[in-house]
Amino acid sequence: MPTTQSAKGKKSSTNRRQFLAASLSTGAITVIGAAFKDRMAYADVPYIRADFISPQYYDGSEGEALLDVLKEKSPFRYYGPGNPVKVKNFESALGEYIGAKYPLCVTSGTAALDCAVTGLEIGPGDEVIMPAYTWWSDYTCVVQAGALPVFADIDESLTLDPLDFERRITPRTKAVIPVHLLGGPCDMDPILEIAKKHGIQVLEDAAQCVGGSYKGKKLGNIGDVGIYSFQFHKMISSGEGGALVTNNPIVYERASRFHDMGVQQRVFIDRIQESRVSDFAGENFRMSEFTGAVLGAQLPKLDAMVSDLRRNFNYVLDGIKNTPGLTLRKRPDPEGDIGYGIFVQCANKEARDRFIAEMGRQRVGAGRISGSVLLPIAESIMNKRARHPQWPSFNTPQGKAIEYGPDSCRQTLRIYDQFVQIRIGPKFTNEMNDRMIDAILKSHATVA
């Protein structure tokens, strides 16, 4: 989810503008017309575009923490010549921040999903429901476990449609992955109610919403297990990195074992007091002390990132919210949204494209919704290609029968085509916010 501000192309604006104004006032070039005049009005204003969030908050603390690791000569989380504490401390701090009992740091959000699926004991024969518009990893974690991914449509919140989730449930459905997308929480109350009614486990993917909440609860800590990503496009970042949280000791033990060869380390047993699970085949998704150092320095800044984003988001929202005919993304909990961007719903794809072009003309960044993939129409998915032709996911009767492709996600395709994404930067000035408001209102008037 690339974001922020750039202020390029700011040279000699006064001269050109004065020249243009003078020329126009003489009437010498009135034939050129209003369209040209209007285009020139934006020619020299800086382009407003949201940029990556985490580096905007780098200060001395990340560097100091990295140097600690070097001085200690201990880049490995469990032991070294010095005293490695960075991953352990960040892990504990994250658990406290989220309010979850058992946190686990791993190498990426994708690895966290693999651990979460293992924690929930999802495997061959199981079906897992996820939104049709999300990141690859929600699909791959299910396939890697040998289980079958089932897509449900998104609604106007751009996240899982609870009604369609319920429609896709079968006796084999073991879990659902609500994905809090583009800074906005899913509507967790109906999702939890449906999951409970059908005995389905809930794996929250909060990779794109670190720091967000739903009705006062931090995202990722509402279902049975939750995951985060600290990759560069997300909120706090160390370039790559991820974490999982849960309050269930068995899920935690399975996940923490899977992340480290299937064996158990003292630090994780200490958190859950006693071991309840035997060794099994795992992976190596251990986080490095360098990663833990940067994340430990970033975490204390997360609340500032979120409140800066929300401040600018609310400023822009105030300027556009009472505009007749202007429809915005549905927000299941406006308080918990991290204010990542303004999402305008147009009548159709053509209107969306005109809206985006008009924003561009006014030199304000806008585009289609991004950062995820329309998974059911991805070529590898339509062709059900796993790492081996005999892979269990697509060789059960259900796996053979399932059909992905456009007919499996019509509502998602329609909604995707309607939305314009206008990203908010946490450090935008009010002058920039005013230009965003102006551009949105003018683009809306052009399209309406």
Count Cβ atoms below 10 Å from residue 425 Cβ, excluding itself.
25
With CB atoms as reference, the residue minimizing the distance to ligand PLP is: 109
**Residue type present at position 113:** L
Is residue 375 within 8 A of residue 133, CB to CB? The reply is yes
- CB of 292: closest distance to ligand PLP in angstroms? 15
**Residue closer to ligand PLP (CB basis): 105 or 297:** 105
- CB of 117: closest distance to ligand PLP in angstroms? 12
**Residue closer to ligand PLP (CB basis): 237 or 433:** 237
**Residue closer to ligand PLP (CB basis): 109 or 426:** 109
Distances (CA, A) of 193 to 109, 166, 223, 262: 26, 10, 11, 33
**Residue closer to ligand PLP (CB basis): 184 or 425:** 184
**Residue closer to ligand PLP (CB basis): 91 or 205:** 205
Is residue 103 within 8 A of residue 170, CB to CB? The reply is no
**Residue closer to ligand PLP (CB basis): 139 or 315:** 139
**Residue closer to ligand PLP (CB basis): 220 or 249:** 220
- CB of 60: closest distance to ligand PLP in angstroms? 26
E strands present in 311-365: 327-328, 341-345
- CB of 239: closest distance to ligand PLP in angstroms? 10
- CB of 217: closest distance to ligand PLP in angstroms? 19
DSSP code per residue over 255-303: HHHHTBTT---HHHHHHHSS--S------B-PPPHHHHHHHHHHGGGHH
**Residue closer to ligand PLP (CB basis): 146 or 183:** 183
Task: For residue 104, give the nearest of 326, 305, 257 by alpha carbon.
Answer: 257
Task: For residue 77, give the nearest of 69, 89, 85 by alpha carbon.
Answer: 85
Q: Which helix (H) or strand (E) holds 306?
A: helix 302-320
Is residue 356 within 8 A of residue 368, CB to CB? The reply is yes
- CB of 110: closest distance to ligand PLP in angstroms? 3
Which of the 8 DSSP states describes residue 447? H
Count Cβ atoms below 10 Å from residue 75 Cβ, excluding itself.
17
**Residue type present at position 106:** V
- CB of 314: closest distance to ligand PLP in angstroms? 24
Distance CA 229, CA 117 (A): 16
- CB of 259: closest distance to ligand PLP in angstroms? 14
Residues engaged in binding ligand PLP (CB under 6 A): 108-110, 134-135, 137-138, 179, 205, 207-208, 229, 231, 242, 371
